[in-house]
Chains A and B, each alone.
Chain A
Amino acid sequence: MREQPLLFGEMKSLIGILADSPRTHPGPPRPAVILLNPGIVHRVGPGRIYVKIARILAETGFTVLRFDFSGIGDSAVRQDSLPFEKSAVSEAQEAMDFLQRAHNIDRFILMGGCSGAVISLEAALNDPRVIGAVLINFPFTQDQDENAPDLALRRAAHYYRNFALVNPRSWQKLCTGKANYRFLLRVMCSEVKRRVSFGPGASPESPLLHSLRCLADRGVRVTLVCSEGDPSLEELHDTVGKYLRQLSHCGSIAVSIVRRSDHTFTSLYDQEQLLELILERVQTMAQPVENLSNSREPLCTENIVLQEGLTRQSSL
């Protein structure tokens, strides 16, 4: 595995690290993987997880580019007034252009955590060269944004409901005066407020479902990776869960849940689980499109591939 720092893009202002293998790997040419910034964290990722992902994929023969969008990390701020949602998609495409020109690769898998997942999805919709996307802790509701003021409270609410509630130690703390009651109260109030103001969830025509349908139609393989300890999993159920089941292209949309992990895969064990999962998903996505076309079944309803083994089967 070798790595090379580089500057690319129209203004040569985007900084990235290219990782690949010096050895030639047998079989058909592989797609390249592009990692997109998780929020405003630079290309290294929280817990250096992007570096680990890039290296493990490069060791197995993939060319991987992780880079900073303009204004994030080391890349220069843009001089135009293009909003981030548009400039980021355009820069993801510049990354593809660069790899196509310099490395003769014309198929890509996009990957990103949180807002990086949103940009991955948008770029996949906008560019036919994208054949796969790994969307890690995709923010299913708008206020899942990292900068939303109540995000910490929502994560805590999710933790209390899904983990603390069934943990005898938590109950012991609660009953012996060792819990942080003020914080608990804040979390409960915030949750009630959120539930009251929460809409009816997604309609079958919601933009996200529409996007996933478009990608499935194109044969783009999408994996939604959710941390069990992250509120985005609950939001997946609340918003698009029931409709996601009805996506009609077998095998192209997958949901994988990483057990006990949190939003940023804070523990090293969670990181290992994520790495194994990503390696498996990317290798599957890299298989030639014909394999997918041949195995595609007519319209069906129960077609979400749920990863087992490493991850828990979803109850979607």
Chain B
Amino acid sequence: MKSVKIPLPFHFGPAAQPLFGCYHEPDLARRRQCAVIICQPIGHEYINCHRALRQLAVRLAEVGFPVLRFDYYGCGDSSGNAEAGTIPRWLEDISEAIFQVKQRSKLDTVCIAGLRLGGALAAMLGAERGDIESMLLWDPVVDGKSYLEDLQLLQKEQMRSRPKPGRRERAQEHLEILGFPFTHALYSQVQEIKLRAITRRPAKNMFMIQSRTSDQGRGAELFNLTESNWEYQALPIPQIWLPTTNGSLLVPGQALQSIVSWTCRMHS
């Protein structure tokens, strides 16, 4: 019977506003000298991708990486209301998570894996810090404006066969996307996201996976100016962050395998 490794749930960060994390201990027999942090998307994308990212963490731990998954402030199990989330705060949260994983794993080398907005945040922070060894971006948000447009289109599409909001409901002060608020502050901050504007390298080694046909090819030009060793892979996999018609949560084995293989190659 295969032994079951249970991730350790814990709180970290400021005592008054703790963040939730799940630490996956690596397989000790295969322990590698790099810890991995997983930066999740936000809102409904976070809910839809949770299963896949949990699976990714398990697979990385099985091949010897200590892994920390965590929720940003105001997201998931972390403290705070969703309305309190901001980009600067979430960048601080990733830094806090880096500190945590280094402490827990007793390793100095960190790899960040980011999906959607998590990918964009990872790249922004990596470029600012300059000390990240490797980074893999899975369908990162490349342009904040298009991301917001896509979200609003999705909201419209999803609400088509649902009761329309009444007058009181329309009076909500925030934009909302599938059950999650988007405050004006967050909206403007996300609008400003442009990965092409990043000129410093986010990490020494970069890997990008893109599943969206419309974005494919963009990855190649994305980090041209950042002097990283980078690899790019277009995969015919579903966009797992989108709601499915039957409510199922997708786990694309091909993407997880690519990520695990690349991370192993970078940190053999």
Q: Residues of A with Cβ closer than 8 Å to B?
A: 3-7, 11-13, 15, 17, 39-44, 46-49, 51, 73-74, 76-77, 79, 146-149, 151-152, 155-156, 159-160, 163, 167, 180, 228-229, 260-262, 264-271
Stretch at the interface among B28-36, B158-166, B214-222: B158-166
Contact of A163 among B47, B163, B169, B246 (CB under 8 A): B163
- Sample 6 A-B pairs with CB under 8 A, ordered by A number: A47-B180, A48-B180, A76-B6, A152-B246, A267-B176, A271-B179
Contact of B179 among A40, A47, A74, A167 (CB under 8 A): A47
B163 touches A261 (CB 8 A): yes
With A3-B79, A48-B82, A156-B161 known to touch, is A266 a contact of B166 (CB < 8 Å)? no
Q: Which A residues are CB-close (under 8 A) to B11? A: 3-5
Q: Which A residues are CB-close (under 8 A) to B7? A: 15, 74
Q: Which B residues are CB-close (under 8 A) to A39? A: 247
A43 touches B77 (CB 8 A): yes
A48 touches B248 (CB 8 A): no
Q: Which A residues are CB-close (under 8 A) to B18? A: 3
Which residues of B (44-103) have their CB < 8 Å from a CB of A? 44, 47, 50-51, 54, 75-77, 79, 82
Give the distance in Å from the alpha carbon of A229 to the alpha carbon of B161 in the complex.
Answer: 9
B50 to A, closest residue via Cβ = A42
B5, B6, B7, B79 — most chain A CB neighbours (10 Å): B6
Interface size of B by CB at 8 A reads 45
A17 to B, closest residue via Cβ = B77
Give the distance in Å from the alpha carbon of A264 to the alpha carbon of B180 in the complex.
Answer: 12
A40 touches B249 (CB 8 A): yes
A51, A267, A271 — most chain B CB neighbours (10 Å): A267
A266 touches B162 (CB 8 A): yes
| A238 nearest CB across to chain B (Å) | 20
With A39-B247, A40-B51, A152-B246 known to touch, is A229 a contact of B6 (CB < 8 Å)? no
B159 to A, closest residue via Cβ = A266
| B169 nearest CB across to chain A (Å) | 4
Give the distance in Å from the alpha carbon of A270 to the alpha carbon of B4 in the complex.
Answer: 39
With A7-B6, A79-B1, A156-B161 known to touch, is A268 a contact of B181 (CB < 8 Å)? yes
B168 on the A face (CB < 8 A):
yes
B178 on the A face (CB < 8 A):
yes
B130 on the A face (CB < 8 A):
no
B223 on the A face (CB < 8 A):
no
